[in-house]
Chain A
Amino acid sequence: MINNKIGIISCSGEECLGGTISRLAVRKMMEELKPGMVSTLCLPLFIAGDGGEREFAEKYPTIAVDGCSKCCAKRAIEKYSNQVAGSVDVAEIIGEDKALEKPLSTRHLTDEHHEYVNKTAAITCQIFDDILAKQ
C-alpha cells in the first residue's frame, strides 16, 4: 500500500549498467536516505497496469530515474499517467559510454560503481527535497 505522497520509478535496468545504478540509487533512497518518505513504484507493474501504480503517478508527483537516454521510466510515466515531477538520467551523471556498459549483479559492484550509486541517489534526493519544499 502506498502511503507516501512522492513517488519514484527506476528504470528496469536489464540493458545496461546505467540501469543497475538507477535501481540501486532508488533502493538507497528508499532504505537509507529517505526511509518511509518515498513510494517506489515498480516499473514492470506500472506497465502491466496493476497494483495502483499508474493511479498513484497520476495523482502525486513522481520522479523518474533512468539508466540511459532511452528514458524508459520517464516515458512510461508520461504515457500512462502524467508529466514527471522530476527526472534523472544516470548517463548524464556517469557518462553515456559508462552507462551503456553491461548490467551487473549487485555482487560484482566495485567502489567506482558504488560512487555512481551515491551520486545518482544524491541528485535524486535533491529533486525530492525541491518537490517537498514546494508542497
Chain B
Amino acid sequence: MSESICVLPCNGLDKCAGDLSRRVALELAQSAEVALICPVLLNQNRSRYEKALAAGDLTVIDGCNTRCASKLAGDLELAIKDKVNVSEVAKTLDIKLGVDIQENDDTRAVVQAVLAKVNSSAADQAESEFIEPEAVEYNSFSHGKFIFKVPQSNYFFNENDCWVTVSGNMARVGVSDYVQQNLSDILYVDPPEIGDEFEQFDDLGSIESSKAVFEIISPVSGTVVAVNSSLNDAPEQVNESPYEKGWLVEVKLRDFSEDQDLLHDCPAYFEFLQRKVAEIDV
C-alpha cells in the first residue's frame, strides 16, 4: 500500500454490498495513513477533502454495479488509483449478497477479500520482455475538428478499435486513437489480473472516462504477463500516447498467426476507420 490513501466507499444503505463497502472503508481507516472520504460530503463540499486528495492516491470502493462512487469521482474528475467492486468480489467467492444487511461468515469473507484486493493492488509483475520499437511513424486523417492517427506498420487491429503490436512471442495491447478521442479524458484503467488466460475477442479489462466505460476486446489469445502500471498514476497517457506510452496489457501470445486472420493491418485499419468515422459522423 502507498503511504497515503484516500478511500471513497459508495456507502449505500439499500443493499448489503453498499454496507460492506462502508465496512471495508472503516477497517482501512483504522490506519493513520488512510483518509476516509464521505461521498455525500465530497459532492457537497469538495474543498473539505482537497488536501487529502492532493496528498494521497484515491481508492474507490463501489458496492454494486451502479458504481455511484466511481461516477462521483468521474464527475469531479478525480484520478482513481485503484478501484474495487464489492459485488464483483462476492461473485468470485460465489457468495450472493442480498438486500438485507448481515454480519455473518459470508459477509466477513467478502470484507476480508475486498481488503486483500485493496492491499495487493500493486501486484508484483515480471520485468517486461517486450522490445519496444525505436520510433512509430503515423498516418493521419481529419474529420471535422478531429484528427485521427494510425501507425504506418507493425500494429494490428480488431474492429473494436483495440490494437496489438508484436515482439517475438510477446505482444502489447492497447486502444486506438479513435477510442481515446471518443472517451475524452481517461480517468481509470481497470486491467486484467496477471496470469489470466484469454481467447481472442475476450474481455481484457476496461478503461473509463467521465463519459463512458470502454471494454477492451482482446485482438489476440494468450496470457497476461504484465499491465502498464504507470497508468495507475497517469491514465491520461492513453489520451496522450495511445499507441506507445498508453499501452494497456502485455501478453504472451498463444498463436498469433491464427489470430492475425481476423485482424486488420495498419493500412486496412486506416481505411476501415475512415469509413467508420464518416458513417458515424463524429
A-side residues, CB < 8 A to B, are 10-15, 19, 23, 26-27, 31, 40-45, 47-48, 50-51, 70, 72-73, 75-76, 103-107
Contact = CB atoms under 8 A, between A and B. Distances in A.
B11 A27 contact: no
Interface residues of B, number: 29
Nearest to B101: A27
Contacts of B231: none
B25 interface: yes
Interface in B87-111: 100-101, 103
B254 interface: no
Nearest to A48: B68
Q: Taking each of B9, B13, B72, B103, which has the highest tally of chain A beta carbons within 10 Å of its own beta carbon?
A: B13
Interface stretch (B37-45, B161-169, B241-249): B37-45
Interface in B50-90: 66, 68-69, 71-72
Contact of A47 (B14, B15, B27, B72): B72
Contacts of A48: 66, 68, 71-72
Contact of B14 (A40, A70, A73, A107): A40
Contacts of A31: 100
Interface of B: 9-15, 18, 22-23, 25-27, 36-41, 43-44, 66, 68-69, 71-72, 100-101, 103
A106 B101 CA distance: 10
B36 A27 contact: no
Closest 4 CB pairs of A and B: A14-B38, A12-B40, A44-B68, A42-B14
Contact of B37 (A10, A14, A50, A107): A14
Given A31-B100, A47-B68, A14 B44 contact: no
B25 A14 contact: yes
Contact of B44 (A19, A75, A105): A75
A112 to B, nearest CB: 19
B41 A72 contact: yes
Contact of A103 (B26, B41, B72, B103): B26
A104 B38 CA distance: 14
A50 B40 contact: no
A19 B25 CA distance: 14
B220 to A, nearest CB: 36
A44 B10 contact: yes
Contact of A105 (B11, B23, B71): B23
A107 B103 CA distance: 8
B23 A42 contact: no
B101 A42 contact: no
A70 B41 contact: yes
A76 B26 contact: no
A23 B9 CA distance: 15
A15 B71 CA distance: 20
A78 B36 CA distance: 26
B22 A14 contact: yes
